[in-house]
Amino acid sequence: MAKKRTIPKNAPDKKLADLNPDRTDSTGELMTTDQGLKINDDNNSLKAGERGATLLEDFILREKITHFDHERIPERIVHARGSAAHGFFQVYKSMEKYTKAGFLQDPSVKTPVFVRFSTVAGSRGSTDLARDVRGFAVKFYTEEGNYDLVGNNMPVFFIQDAMKFPDLIHAVKPEPDHEMPQAASAHDTFWDFISLTPESMHMIMWAMSDRAIPRSLRMMEGFGVHTFRFINAKGKSHFVKFHWKPLLGMHSVVWDEAQKISGKDSDFHRRDLWEAIEAGAFPEWEFGVQIVPEEDEHKYPFDLLDPTKIIPEEIVPVMRIGKMTLNRNPDNFFAETEQVAFHPGHLVPGIDFTNDPLLQGRLFSYTDTQLSRLGSPNFHEIPINRSINTVHNNQRDGHMRQQINVGKSSYHPNTTGGGCPFQAKMAEGGFTSHEERIDARKVRGRSKSFMDFFSQATLFYNSQSEAEQNHIVDALCFELGKLETPAIRERMVGLLAKVSTSLAQRVADGLGIKVTKPQEPLNHNFGADANPKDFQNKPAQQGIDKSPALSMANTRKDTISTRQIAILAADGVDGASLSKMKAALEAEGAKTKVIAPHGGMIKNAKGADIKVDMSFLTAASVLFDAVFIPGGERSAAALINEPDAIHFINESYKHCKAIAADGQGSDVLKASFVGSKKSDGVITGEKALEKAFIKAIAQHRFWDREKVPA
């Protein structure tokens, strides 16, 4: 049968379009599966009840995700840009009260781990400093098998149901007609999707915050995102949320800085992680859990199964139960970082799933993706993916098989192999799924308890410091200001008004538009036959007005370990001034580099050589955390006449960094924009200059500089 020829209604040359029978235009058409079956609901997976498990028989979900999983070869469809390291995990004390997971029992046991950090939207060659979610995936090589905790640096996600994941990623990826922009969400298709998907508003607050542009992979939190289960030896279940808390604190860069770092060193995060580990400054995170008794499942104004919600730490505190240390870089990037295969379905006894519909879809998607990307069902035999246990089962053959199985039995039950391998009893560590009662109708739908889209978005925004709120406003103005379709911009501002009227007004002012009332109800979130009135958003009181844990302003600020400090100098520098500060900074774990007008060596005031680490041509202020200008009359004069040195100082000041000057170094500050300004974080003329500078660096940034004078 001949293929139907479809001519796009807006084709500039219909005769030319008619020559290509494969060209289609979906304008005005009804949605179908790849088999031509019309789809009634493209937003909800098939579940055993509205809050029940997703059913394997959902052929529409499987078709959609299977196609999505195989869309890119061989690069990961998402999380393509990654960096990784080896390390170990140790629990502080036995968690047997809550879970029988072996690696969470003995504080003396070091469980090997491999951790991969990544951006989500960009390709392998994109920049580390894109505004984006960061993947935070941990593979535990436990004695009971591999356990993968596959999370992000943000505790919530854009969508509630895995059915929408392909749509989300299609929307944020470069637009398909011209493949632009790369690794960026500031374009029409992404915000069109978000403006029609109000469940995303909580995540948008996180993604537009400073969390999306971390200073270092070593200085960001990690989250399991979903609610999981802990199961103890008695079969008792508790709900659990997973957290990683960085011991260096949480810190970010500013957007202007991120864009410039992308040009100066697009490998900034990758290099930072690698160099820290090579220098022995091993990154550390504490492993935290929020534990909720099963009987408290419906206690809160939010649904524990909703991946767009958090449990505020002020309501359920995070219990820190162990520490992870990364102490070894990969030997080969491709063999390890690129070929590692994570899957949230890689469990050990004592940890189990919940019916979170996004998690349920991921359980199918990850294995399917690895089959395409790594080309074989034997991807688990690649060294980085191998369990430390010997694998015994009846799986055989397949592309690139490594394991050599002896004997004639490849089936169960059998007698030819003596019945081996045997099934493991629970007492022998055999995994059994949590016995959850299921009594529900088979439906495509969403629980009404998922329908509060704005309360936690408001909580997040209200919990931010003044500077952080300003940055969210700026981020939204930047992103929405890049759009070519005014209607999308207007819809987004309307949704922002449901988060915060002041936020919406500030963004509208920045865009030069008015705040409009959002469309209600938004029919796009439900099936074609759903009654939108049944799903109107009903904001719920969260029990708290602000959550200090959500603001990075409240992070740890008592260390300068691994911070990069620029020392600006030229011939004639005061050698004692330079050496004294350098020694004080490095004694606190900071890294210093001497930046000069040229490479090689400079002479101090007494004629001795000082090694130059970088010239102003190869250095940039955005690659450093703070700046020091030592004394020396000739050095100061040279720097004053060096435009790049003055720019270096001006930009550091603009980005709110700590700046210190000793002796004639103060003259260089006076010649810059800093001038004689009295500003926090600018230290001159102090008797204990080193001590004051170290304290200032530990504060990370001095955001008051961003305020416009009255």
- Annotated catalytic residues are 79, 152
Q: Residue 32 has what DSSP assignment?
A: B
Distance CA(319)–CA(18), nearest Å, equals 64
Closest C-alpha to 138, from 111, 153, 116: 116
- Strands 658-661 and 682-684 turn out to be parallel
DSSP H or E stretch at residue 598:
none
- Count of Cβ atoms closer than 10 Å to residue 561 Cβ: 15
Place of tokens 């040279």: 638
Write the CA distances from 156 to 137, 184, 412, 548, 571, integer angstroms. 15, 20, 42, 17, 53
Q: Please enumerate in sequence order all residues whose Cβ is within 8 A of that of 145, keeping only pairs 6 or more positions apart, or say none.
A: 346, 348, 387, 389
Write the CA distances from 615 to 185, 294, 363, 490, 642, integer angstroms. 35, 60, 51, 47, 12
Instruction: Spell out a b/e string for 368-385, using b for 16 or more CB atoms within 10 Å of the CB, else e.
Output: bbbbebbeebbbbbbebb
Closest C-alpha to 461, from 545, 576, 344: 545
570, 332 contact by CB (below 8 A): no
Which two three-digit tokens encode residue 579? 């050496």
Backbone phi, then psi, for 239, in 5-degree steps? -75, 145
Q: Please enumerate in sequence order all residues whose Cβ is within 8 A of that of 401, keeping only pairs 6 or more positions apart, or say none.
A: 378, 381
Which two three-digit tokens encode residue 217? 């992979």
Q: How many helices (H) and strands (E) does the chain have?
A: 17, 20
Write the CA distances from 638 to 72, 570, 613, integer angstroms. 53, 6, 18
| Residue 272 three-state SS | helix
616, 649 contact by CB (below 8 A): no
Backbone phi, then psi, for 604, in 5-degree steps? -80, 180
Distance CA(103)–CA(29), nearest Å, equals 53
Q: How big, in percent rounded to 5, are the helix, strand and coil portions of the chain?
A: 35, 15, 50
Distance of CA 424 to the CA centre of its chain: 37
Beta-strand runs (E) in 110-215? 111-119, 134-142, 145-152
DSSP H or E stretch at residue 67:
helix 59-69
Report the first-to-last Cα separation within the chain, whole angstroms: 75
Specify burial of residue 199 (Cβ count, 10 A radius: 0-12, 13-18, 19+): buried
Distance CA(492)–CA(66), nearest Å, equals 31
Distance CA(6)–CA(19), nearest Å, equals 10
522, 196 contact by CB (below 8 A): yes
Closest C-alpha to 623, from 262, 279, 82, 275: 262
